[in-house]
């Protein structure tokens, strides 16, 4: 079955997943950009702003580069 020839019905089925993926990506991107900005790391900020990796690069930055624990993600 070709989802492009279903009059949009096939694409509409992916709507909730796409929305969830967008929210997931925006959450991690925003958190990582905030930490990069506060740490004065402009290269990381620009890289994460330009490259969309569905949160993967941002998660690596937060936990591997910044070495933050989960409880530290939302502290100032």
**Are the CB atoms for 61 and 30 separated by under 8 Å?**
no
Stretch 31-60: mean pLDDT: 92
Query: Is the whole model's pTM more than 0.95, yes or no?
Result: no
With 80 as the cut, is the pLDDT of residue 13 above it?
no
Percent of the chain past pLDDT 70, that is, above it, reads 83
For the chain, domain boundaries: 16-72
Rounded Cα distance between 19 and 14, Å, is: 9
């Amino acid at each position: 079955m070709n989802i492009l020839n279903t009059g949009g019905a096939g694409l509409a089925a992916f709507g909730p997943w796409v929305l969830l993926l967008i929210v997931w990506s925006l959450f991690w991107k925003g958190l990582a950009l905030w930490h990069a900005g506060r740490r004065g790391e402009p290269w990381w900020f620009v890289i994460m702003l330009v490259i969309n990796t569905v949160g993967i690069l941002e998660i690596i930055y937060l936990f591997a580069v910044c070495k933050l624990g989960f409880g530290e993600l939302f502290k100032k």
